[in-house]
Structure 1
């Protein structure tokens, strides 16, 4: 045996195409119980040479560790997955083959006698095996040499498909290929299912029947076919019996399609935008249906072409050139597979390698690389009759159009279109909500929406600031919880009115963190198309400042009224048209009318036209000159005409209206006294002028007030000169 630690690193597994001789020579046997090759016995070297150079399937077990050697022929016959790594012990590394030969190996080593078995059941079939002992220099059994020959017992594959009624189309073969021996039964079962076959045959041998189980067979064209198999024996041996095989391809295909639909629906349910969902949709669709490439194309309405959106590709195929080219391309209606699907609004499946114009899909125009892609498939993304885009997929298998698959993809395209429209509507709604919130936040009023359960569903910023709570704290909270029980009981009747469909307006006081505030409240019910009240809109205006102003105004008015009631005269206010807007109590007593009867009336409606015109002339002079005016006015009373001293002046109220205010005092008695005094003075002067004496009158300050004519004639001075002389 060869041993060289400087050669290539050890190989951990054998493959069918490997050179067993090289692998044995390159292995580091110094780490195994064999040690270095210098210690190899002649028996080991000779047996190993025979094994490695023989075209017959052979194996050898050597040493106390039961190290296993085998040749290329055995590897090709059984498959490398059934054999253990080189240099491992048969005891420490069990395999299906190891378990099958282990009892015979031990029997030969113990007895030191050859052993032969007929029709031993291995995982891939039945074999005849001959075992011979190997001796060391001390004539002790040190190993076993064995040859394996396939027996006449049929494999499970042969039992299933060699029956006259078997459907060979399941695996792609014909009856003629069966009859002429062109079917290699050992190649039909994938390596991972061979142990399952062995267990089934053993079960039939031991129990006469086996339950059905699922496995895969390799089709003639190389793809795998899922099959349900089962059988029963008609005798004590498994040589005759009944076996069945049911093709599960349609069921698996349906399962894949349902899984694809579910996966796409799940992605759409979790996505916020189609652009974000597109890669996950393509991945779910392609992986589930075993497609190698998927591309999303979107309609560009401005240029009327399809444009690349996103893609997904299977990692085992290099499609980078195709993808980069697709990203730069556009498709017009009717051009290429995407354009034809867009134009027709129907799914379409084509040969990806076709060149003729009717089937041209522009795959070759996009890349020269994807020779391994066999089938191209596309379906539209629909919203009713509107076509929003196209999904294009490629497979490395030749596929035929199937009506149910096309319909499923058409329905899936409608789902995607509805999703896109729903997201578009949600985005529009989100923008409208943002606009609504922007508008309501700009309004100084408090705005909220309360649902039928009396819970807040919307509050603008002013509402949140007024109550000192965030929107999250408000949302879903009962209004009674936010306002407190006392305040809630106060507004409860209005809430019930609103929920009964009535609009409500009222004023109230609210206790907030900074104190009590006055509010004008409006409840407007929200009534749906069915006439049901879903909630109500709350509009609250802070009228605290207005209330304070009104209070101050009432106090001011009360002070004004108190002052005016004690004015010893008639006080009044008129507008520019002469209508009374205020009259004090003296004025109402003088006219014999109540304040309500006087307000809004002119003097022409209350007194004689002669006197009314005199009053109006004074009013107009005040308005014209915009200056105070004092006049003696006359007014007829029951006891005769009275004289009134009127002081009128203009002013402008808070609203900008020009008004005339006036106060009139009854000076009839004073006027009469003045008239009497003037008359007495007149008579005195007449008398003084008539007498012949000099008459001179002066004040206590020696100021000359009067001299008669005789005094002037006598002194030659007039009154002015006398006053200058002092």
Structure 2
């Protein structure tokens, strides 16, 4: 039987995983409504294909999943056609699938490389010695009681010890394991005594300066001396750092996305950043533009740390440029790292920080373009070596936070402005309104609502012809056009003959433009009639409108052209006699109940409804 090539196997595994996911989704669809989450089970097919066949298999599974989800679960189904939302969801799935496939492919490759390295280490004694001397991987000789008798430079360099420390007996593997990870050693030790070797496992060593060094450890007993062991130690700091940075970027992005205000965002950002790094405290200092100082604004510390004293000290302090760590970062505009607070004389809060139990700190600017908006500090209770990659990443995060602050400030200022405007208009006794170029109302203030006894929703999208007599509405429209065409404000007495009375409103109309440049008309109308006459005239207008509605119904019934009336959801409310005849119906009972039954005119109806102001209507389209 011919051997399948790699690409064929990739396609077979990817197709198998995707088809399995498809069958499960089709089977579960009647109960779980899989069309609401069209990619749900396909998210399982992609990592399975990537896990067994690497990045290429995962990408093949991603593309197949996107096509099948589009065809079977994204409306319109049974067709390769997408609307804007469907396209966006598909693109996001493709990007996530490629990212997942790439990450799993990298991890799979790393695992394969690690296994290959371990196999090569066991090949022969000469190869083993060459490997030890090459310092590609840490190699340690020790006894089962914890004493390390020999180690190569790769191991010593990764944990920060010297050969003199080794000779002096100051390095013990049992003492280098953090207390919270000793259970891993106990499990591996039991396996070692039972099988003579243990399965490689991940743990961490505590370095000479107190820093944690993530490693993969594999250990075996020597056959001629069962109390002696040899360990192969792979420093995975770079891999862990890359994973950590991805996790930090994700958690910060999520924290910013979930926050609605700056005050809500900063505690979440500090907590997410510190927890992702395994650091114990975070502080945010905000630039005060009036005093040109940095003031403490927000802080977070882990429950295991008694950080209240440092938080209280921060609340009473300010920093100018160049003073303290926040001031130095503000002055230089660059992230700064202090690996050991004990040795830093330019840290004013050193005594309090050390008393709390903190030892290392780094900080970075929160910036927008070239402007520094604030500084974030992160503290650790252990010695931490400077990490330039991490500093570069948090500098980018600082810019991201700066953009968020600017955006939220703009939103808050806009909300405050809108709230002020609404508050002013709520108590303004003058009728105020805004219309678009076609004469449709886009805003009326509460005074208008009260004056005409109509809520805001009844005004939006309507014109004066919907509320006033034709000659009155025509006069209003002529005045509106004069303002829009000339671009000049006018002041005019507008007649609104309610019950044969004289002019009622002194109107001031002026041109406006919204944020998109659209031309609008603003107006303010002052009632110059006495209250009693206004009430009498309004009652007459209501009667006139009621009469007009009856006349309108009669006109509709006598029309020679078909007229269909439906609500914003597409439910048919009325067919006039001409429409019944046009569609071949004998009576209203025969009429279908929804506009989707008339697909030829559906798109025109939807368009008309949207132009009428029902922008949130939900009319089901025909399949």
Choose between structure 1 and 2: higher strand proportion: 1
Please give the range of the TM-score, normalised by the shorter of the 2 chains: 0.3 to 0.5
The structure with the larger Rg is 1
Higher relative CO (Cα under 8 Å, sequence separation at least 6) belongs to 2
What TM-score does the superposition give when structure 1 sets the normalisation length? 0.40
What TM-score does the superposition give when structure 2 sets the normalisation length? 0.45
Choose between structure 1 and 2: higher helix proportion: 2
